[in-house]
Structures are given as C-alpha cells and as structure tokens.
Amino acid sequence: MSKTPLQPLALERVPLEGINLIEASAGTGKTWTIVALYVRLLLERRIPAERILVVTFTKAATGELKSRVLERLTALRDALAGDIEAMRTSDDPLLRHVAHSSRDPASDAQWLTAAIESLDLAPIHTIHAFCHRALGEEAFHCGLPFDSELLADDTALLELAVNDCWRRAMAEAEPLWALWLQAHKVEPATLLAVVQELRNKPGAEHLLPQAPPRDAEARYAACYARARALWREAADEAFEALERSLVNRKSFTRSNTARWRESIDACLAPAAPHLALDECMERFTAEALAQHCKTGVPHPLFEALDALWHDARALEGAFAARYAHWCVQTYHEVMRAVGAHKRKRRVRAYDDLLRELHAALHGPQGEALAARLRQRYAAALIDEFQDTDPVQYDIFRAIYAGSGQPLYFVGDPKQAIYAFRGADVYAYLAAADDADAGYTLGVNHRSSSALVRAVNLLFERNGNAFLFERIRYRAVEAAGRADGRWADEGGGVAPLQFRFLPAGDKALNKTTVAERVAESAAAEIATLLQRARRGEVRVDGRPLSGGDIAVLVNTHRQADLVKEALAAFGVASVTYGQDSVYHSAEAEEYAQVLAAVAEPSHEGLVRAALATEMLGFTAEDIEALNRSDAEWDATLERFVHYHRLAVEHGFMYMWRELMRREEVPQRLLALPGGERRMTNVLHLADLLHEAATADGLDLEGLLHLLVRARTSAVGDPEAQQLRLESDQHLVRVLTVHASKGLEFPVVYCPYLWHGKRYAADAERLVFHRDGRVCVDFGSEAMDEHRALAMREEWGERLRLAYVALTRAKYRCVVYWGAVRDACYSALAWLLYGDARETAQDFVERFRKLKSADLLAPLQALAERSEGALSVTVLGETAEEAEPLERENPTAGTVEARAFSGAVPAPWRVSSFSGLVSREERESPDYDASTVVRRLAAPDGVREDMFGLPGGVRTGTLIHALFERIDFRSAAGPEVEALVARTLREHAYDPRWQPALVRMLADVVATPLDANGLRLERIAPQQRLAEMAFVFPVGQISIAALREACESLRETGSRLPDAVGRLVLAPARGFVKGYVDLVFEFEGRYYIADYKSNWLGERYEDYALPQLAAAMSESFYDLQYLLYTVALHRYLELRLPDYDYERHFGGVYYLFVRGMKPERGPASGVYATRPARALVERLDALFTREAGCV
C-alpha cells in the first residue's frame, strides 16, 4: 500500500501547494480535474497561464487539453461577468467553488481574459517538448551548447555504432564463437534490439551469469580432435565391443545402430571442430550406455564421445554467458559512441532531452537549475502519470521536492499498459510514496450505473485483482449521467454480458476459438444493427450506428479475423491502432514502385513495380508487354516521365501524376479492404513528402528511408500510426492499447480469454527488485527471477483487461471458456484467482478445472449482480444472422459546390525555374531537364564528353569540379586526383575520369571572345562561384515582360515570342537564384553559366544556331536577363562609380560538351551582352511589380 493514504477528492479541499497524487480510475473525470485545478491556480494563486506547466504524453493530448482549458476559461469568464447567484447553485462543482471563493468577480473575469489571451504562450507540452524548452532556455546552467539540432529519430546512429561493434568483434572472433552466433541467428539487428531494449530502461540493474572460462573453446576443440581421431581409428572395434556388451537391445537394434553410426560418422567428418553434433551422439554417452551394457562403457571411443557431448553442452553454456556479457558491453560501447557523435555534431534525439535534463538537475549546477525552473514554472500538473518512468519522475522530483510549490501527479496505475515503451508503473508507486497528499476520483461519469456495478463486482471478487498489493481496485460510484440514454426493446439485457464457450474434457484449440468468437461477435453486431434500423435499439435518442460499436483485440491477426467476419455479414468496419504505416503491405509495394521511378532504366525494377496490386499488372499483362517492343518502350517512357517530374517538380507532384495516370485509387478501392489500402498509400505519400521537404531527400533518399523504416524505427512514431480510413459510421476494430482514453456506447471483447505462456527459455527477464528495474541475462538466480518476471507480465495483462472492460458506456460483451492457455489470461485470475495463492499455484489449480467448473462460478456471479451481469452459453455451431444491407447515406445526385472566390497569389521565395514552371525549389540549376534525353540515349557507346550520361547528377558533378579547380592550372596530377575524389563523392563511375579531366582543360583554355578572353587567365580572387541573390518581385505581367524584351527581336532572339507562350506562376514575394560564376577581368564583370546539355555527338551540334535554339527552348535567355539584373543591382551597391557600360562585360553560357580550344568561341560558347536600356527596364519592371518605390 502507499505510504501516503488516499482520500476521496473534494475539489475545494485540494491544497494549492506541495506534491499531490491524484488516482483517477477510468471514466472518473481526470481531464476535468486537471482543468479545474488549472483554474484554481489561476484564480486563487494568481499564477499567470505562462507559468503553469501542464505535461501529457502525446501531441494529440496536448491539443485536447489546451482546447478544454480554453473552453473552460471562456465559460467561467462569461459566468463571472453574469449572474453570480446562478453560479452558486450550479450543478457544476467548479462553478460553485469559483462563485463562493471569488472576492472580486470583475477582477477574476479580467484575470481570466488575460489568461485566455496569453493561452498560446501557456506551457502545455509533451514531456519531450518541456525538456527541450527547459534545455534551450537554461543551456548555460545545463552546461550544454546553445545551438543543437533535434533529430526525430537516432536509430541510424545506433545502427552505425552497433555495426562498428559487430565488425570489430567478428574480426577477432574465434571460429567456434562465430559458429555459435550464426547458429543462434545473432546478427547486428539482434544486438540493436538489445541496445534499444536496455536504453528504454535507464538505470536498470543488469544481472549477468558468471564470466565463462577462457579455455572452454580450446578444451572443446581438443576433445573434438580426440573423439574424431579415435572414431577414424577404432570405430569398427568399438562397435564390435558394444555389440558384445549389450544386454538390452530394445533400442540398440542393428538398423538403429547402423543409422546412428552413419550420422556420427558424418558429424565427425570435418577436420575443424564445430557445434552441430547430432542428437544421436547422446545415446553413446556413459549414462545412456550404462542402461544397456553389462560392463559400462565398452570402449575408450565411447568415453571420448561422452566427453565431447558433455563438453559441447558446457561450451553452449559458456557461449551463452559470453553472449550475455557481450550484449551489455555492446550496449555501453554504443551509448558512448553515439553520445560522442551527437556531441561532436551538436545533435540530440528526443530521449536525449530527458536524459540531459535529468543529468543537469543532478549535476553541479542542479540546484540552481531547479530554482530557475521553479521560477519559470510556478506550478505543474502531470497527466497520464502512470505511463512515466524513473527518469521522468526524478526530473519533476528534483525541481519541486521540498519547495512547497504545487505539483500534481494525475494518473491511474490500473491503466499502466506501456511497459514495452519503457513506462514503469513502479515510478508511479514511488511518487505515491513521496507525495504530501493523495486523492482518488471515485465517481464514474462515463458508464451506466448498472455497468459500473458489474465492473465493480468483477474486480472486487479477487482481493488482489492486479497481482500487486500496491495496485488496488477501489470500487467507484456511478454519476448516473449515462442512465436512460440506452434503449433496447429486447428489455432486461445486462450491460456486462459473458458469452461462454463450452468444452469437453480437453481445452479448446486457440486458433479455432479465435475464428469462432470473431464470427459470433460479427453475427451479434449485424443483428444489433438490423434491430437498430428497425428502431429497436437506440442510444441518446437515435438509432445505434456502427460507429457506436468497438471491437477490442490484442493482435493484428485478431483484428483481421474480426474484420473478415464483419464483412461476411455485410458490416463495414474500420481498423486503427498504434502500428506504423511503414509496416503495412502498401509500404512494401510503395518501395517497389518508388525504386522503379528512381531508376527507370532498370527494366527488372519496372516489372516488379508493375506486378504490385497498386499498379495491377498480371503475369499475362507483363508477358504481353514483353512481346511488344512498342508497348514496353511506352511503359518505360512513362516511368522516365515520372522520374523527370520528381527531379524537376518534387516528389509529391510526381506521385499525384502517377496516381492519376496509373488509376491507383480506382484499382485499390475495388479490392477487399480498399479503403484501408488507399488510406495507407495517401499516408505514406504525406510522410515521404514531409521527409523530402524537411530533409531535402531525393528519390534515392526517400527509397532508402522507406526501406529502413520497414525494419527499424525512424521518425515520429505518432505521425506514423495507421490512420482511420473512413468516417464515424463504421464499427471500430482496434487494439486495447489504442483504445486507452476512448469510450464507446457498445464494446465487444472477444479475446480476453487469450493467455500467453511465459517462455521458459527466455534469454532475458525483466522484473523489479526493491522498486528498481532489473534485466536478468542468465544469472544464477534466473529461475527465481523468472517467477517475478512472469508475475509482472501477467499484471500488465490484468491492467490491459481493466482498460478493455472500462471503455463501454452502456454494454460490454466478453467471450470466455476453457481455452488452451487460458490459465495465463487476465480473466482467469479475475474470475477464479485467490489473493492468497501465488501465480504459479493458481496456474496449476486452474489447469485441473473442467468446462463446468468454469461456468458455475460465472453463473453465481451473475446471480449476485442484480441484473448487471449475464451469462449466455454459446452453441457448438456459429450464430446466424441476416447480412446487413449497405446503407447509402446520400440519396439522389451529388454535386460539388462551385468555388466562386479568388485565391490571392501567395507570398513566397521562388527561383527562375519556379517562375516559369511553378517549381518550388530554391537550388542551383544543374541541368535537371536533360534527364529524359540522356536516359533515352544509349550508354557505354563512347567514353568522351559526348557519351557522358546527362541529368541532374552530371550537372551537379560538373559544377562541383569547376568550383574546386584553379582555372590557371586545370591539368596535371592534382586535377586528376581532384576529379577522382569528386567522382567518388558523387557515386559516379570512375571510368569517366579521363573525359572529365580533358573537358576541364578544354573549357578553361577555350577563347570566349575574339580578344582571347579565357578562364585560365582568371585568378581565384577574381571569381565568385555560386553567387546567391534575392530581390523582390511582384505578380509579373506577361504583356509588360514581352514588351520589355521586344528589343531583343533585332538580335534574332526568339524570346519575345516565347514570353508570349510563357505561363508564369502567380508568385509575389522574392526571387532567389544562384549564378554559376561571376568573374572580373580587366575591370569588367562577367557572368558565366555551365551547361551540360547534350545536343549531339559532334562539335558541329554545338555551333551558335544550335546553342541559340537550346537557349530559347529552355528560356535560358530569360534566365541570363534575370542574372544580369541581379548582378547589375549588386554592382550598383558595391561600386561607388558604377556604370553599366563601363563595368558590365557580358554573359557566357558554356555548353561544356562542345568546347575545344582550337575551335574557339564558335563551338559551345553562347556569348551576349544585354543592352543597358533593356536591363534598366527589367529592373524597373521587377521593382514596380513588387511594390518597391
């Protein structure tokens, strides 16, 4: 029991100081109480909203809490400004309390108004958000850097560190140790799982077996060598002696002996020792032969086999102990390595926030830090405190303990069900011991009075319902708010109903029962909804609908069974839970399709994508494509098109086009479970789009993320949880974990009979000793600890059952019976357990009970319930029900509303390409538009610049080379090394090194004009690479732009006509861009832009007419005008005597594939110098349209 006695909570008597624990049973108004205490702190202690900390454990919960606080404050303010007497007689306890305690209602109303206006600043956070804010605001006192990047997930860092540990260990591993690891399927992923498990249990005590003897492997190897030598030398002699010595030939028949001898012969054939000894070798040990031979061991060979067999068992134990020590050693090494990496890179993950704040509070500056946090947060309310862990509790204890400032822990240990996430109910129990005062919420506002009475009866039957004396069931009263809201013309139906599955002498098969209860529940639900349509079952005055019903399950397999059974009866349902969408089948298909889009020239990947249900090609369809070159080429062109869209417009743009063109929604929605499939596809698109925009991932990066997310945790788990696929009219199928905090009018619990036998050979055990979590890796006391671990795991199943049984408002249906392993279930202990017996004793007693023994006590309980609980014995055959006809919620023709408003152009930062193609990217232009042309062209024909593949990767590579080289010395070993290094960095085929080295030398040596200007004459201090610029623009008029460019027509430019065909994105804001190269030569400033466009395989293809066509086709002439305006503005600011005619030299577009020194500027060089009047006119146009005067 708690050291702090718990008393019923009376709102007005809860002190506004000290540490207070509030135990809130299911449905007793936990959130209402938190908001009420928040109001009291505001009004009675005059603590501003910005200084009241509220912590809960999910982002969704913080949003709900903030909404409830706002709603409550607004209602109270309005009430205080109205009739105070009416408040004093209100049914609402908070209104009554505020009315009686308020000395100045007008002042209180003003204070509440101020709180409402500042609520956006109110610290209502998740625990991680609170720690992040505290560390950021108090970085100096925490001894931490002021700037650090927050990682959504650090699994990749853990994987790297684990892989490093694995490689080092394997490099030094002895052969037998390596074989043992392989036989036990130990790999880096296994170690990663151990590391993550231990990290989730900070402060745990690791209990290890004794260190193994160092010579165990050598001793076994010597034993193997001796046995093998004797076998090869004396096997015939030994088996002849055995034959003479045998007295019991029942098992040692000649055929058996021959077969066993053959197996041992194969086992001892390898010269190198191994661990795969055949089980038949045990028959020739001393113990076994003593039972069959008259003279004991008849030959030294069998003594050698006996020694080998027992040494193998000893080595197995030694390796198991070695593995346990290695796991813990690896955990510490990984934590040190990852910590060092994070400190070096100044990054931290979410869980680091808790550890760092905890460490800071217990460090040299801990007291000063706690004092500053108390000053910042004068009061704190911690919601869902049963899901805390020792680190989280210790943080708040370090801040508030002994200060007298108000701290409230609100939770329910009976609902502590997240141990698998690291939650520790013992931390809650420690807080209960430390609290200055403790309270209970004893009135259930959720369920009907009869249902509350039935649940009380069920949990009070066993005096130790939760297997822990510290976690007690306290009966609650019913507020009665739900009474009278449920109407069933069948009449007399108990709110808690048991469906009993009878059995004979043998327990029922779990698999059979799992299907049977799904069918039974589905039939009942179908019948219930049929009756509701006839008006026989009503809730809150309306017919019961599918959305009022929830079916709670433990596993996804059970959820699938229920969904299939409901569908068979025509009942539409929806599943949701806490699973990651990355683990869905759609994620696997998504990866296949994305791989094909990322590499459309790989025909195998394209075929694999086509074969997915998402794209819907059958084997016959693909075979037909293979037989038609035209159709196959068209298919490949589609994927090339998707690739180009992704490169030029981004992932989401591409994905929407692929969905539309490939008719993905139509195809998926036509399949069984189509809504679920389509929801997952859209959810995955959202997640990948967020990753692409937040982390700048390209197709390859997104594919890597998708593949990694399917095998390990990445990103925000809350954002990845499966979404609801439809609306509230469908029956909900969800896990008990996902149901926590929710309520439903009707709840079915078909699987509470499901029990799980605790693994007797578990490698690790988790249990608590003196309140501290322990992880046993195989200590000498492991058998004793196994009982403790089993008890704790069973206790969590009991708490899960409590959560399941308290979700219903009016009716809860539970299935039960003599099912195999039901002795380990929560219901078994609740219905038949005795508080005086141990869990193991109970299991042994329960196993002896027959079906009738289980039914009788349940019926007796129903008789005592006064109609609150009933028992129905199910027949041997499945229930029948008429299939539910699907309702059409909309009648008649459905039309979409026409939008008649105007959407103003958004303010944004765009690039040149964004203006002309609605592209959102702000990055250098690296010739992405050439990807289609080069993917379609054959590779490997030439290994010069004409054969170099095109696309954004090539453009990026070439730009990187020009940024790094010194133009004055673009040849020689240093340049060759630079090119080789750059190729490696860009994952580019090294065979292109010679071509790129020659290209660099040719480009810098090629004359750019008739006066001999060459890049090789430009010193590093005379050049500026990737010059970024930003200037304001408005909603540019096509007519005004075309008029400004009209003067170019005299030069032969096609830009005036092209501008007329241009579709400008309606952008207002700023244009941002990058000029490849700005250089100064003899007092004049020039612009140069590198182009890797492939125009042909001859230098003649890069003559001026071809270059002019390429410039016009890609709007490069508009691009260089934009660059010229940017440089013009820049020089105006930087040069005091700037004059365009004197200082601006011109523009060079360098098509590097076609440049050769001996050909001069006639090949690959497009040179121009816009007229001053045109530049100034464009400058004025951009300025005017932007509203800049």
Cα 818 to Cα 831: distance, rounded to the nearest angstrom: 13
H/E stretch holding 125: strand 124-126
H/E stretch holding 369: helix 366-376
Nearest to 826 by CA among 321, 459, 455: 459
State phi, psi for 102 to the nearest 5 degrees: -75, 125
First to last CA, the chain: 77
Helix (H, G, I), strand (E, B) or coil at 1030: strand
Q: DSSP code of 759?
A: P
Strands of 379-382's sheet, edge to edge?
6-8, 437-441, 19-24, 407-411, 379-382, 52-56, 124-126
DSSP string spanning 866-930?
TTSEEEEE--SSPP--PPPPPP-SS-S---PPPP-S-PPPPEEEE-HHHHHH-----S----GGG
Quick one: how far is CA 253 from the chain centroid?
Answer: 60
Quick one: how far is CA 860 from the chain centroid?
Answer: 47
- Alpha helices per DSSP H over 534-650: 556-568, 585-598, 603-610, 619-627, 629-649
Q: For residues 1037, 1040, 1043 and 1045, what is the CA-based torsion angle, rounded to 10 degrees?
A: -70
Quick one: how far is CA 839 from the chain centroid?
Answer: 36
Catalytic one of 548, 927, 1089, 1179? 1089
Q: For residues 999, 1003, 1005 and 1007, what is the CA-based torsion angle, rounded to 10 degrees?
A: 150
Q: Which residues of 496-513 are buried (b: 16+ CB within 10 A; e: fewer)?
A: bbbbbbebeeebbeeeeb
Cα 1088 to Cα 1164: distance, rounded to the nearest angstrom: 13
Cα 1112 to Cα 1109: distance, rounded to the nearest angstrom: 5
* Residue 1044, amino acid: A
Question: Is 686 annotated as catalytic?
Answer: no
The Cα angle at residue 491 between residues 485 and 495, in degrees rounded to 5: 60
Cα 229 to Cα 271: distance, rounded to the nearest angstrom: 10
Cα 620 to Cα 256: distance, rounded to the nearest angstrom: 53
Q: Is 1047 exposed, middle or buried (0-12, 13-18, 19+ CB in 10 A)?
A: middle
Q: Is 1012 exposed, middle or buried (0-12, 13-18, 19+ CB in 10 A)?
A: exposed
Helix (H, G, I), strand (E, B) or coil at 743: coil
CB 372 within 8 A of CB 141: yes
**Integer angstrom CA distances of residue 903 from 89, 695, 910, 1066, 1168:** 51, 29, 18, 10, 40
Taking CB atoms within 8 Å and a gap of at least 24, the contacts of 947-954 are 947/995, 947/1097, 948/992, 948/995, 948/996, 948/1092, 948/1153, 950/1092, 950/1093, 950/1094, 951/647, 951/927, 952/647, 952/926, 952/927, 952/928, 953/986, 953/988, 954/927, 954/930, 954/1092
Question: CB neighbours (10 Å) of residue 778?
Answer: 19
Indicate the pairing of strand 124-126 with strand 537-539. unpaired
Q: DSSP code of 1060?
A: H
DSSP string spanning 530-542?
HHHHTTSEEETTE
Cα 328 to Cα 1011: distance, rounded to the nearest angstrom: 73
Cα 857 to Cα 833: distance, rounded to the nearest angstrom: 11
Question: Which residues are identified as catalytic?
Answer: 1089
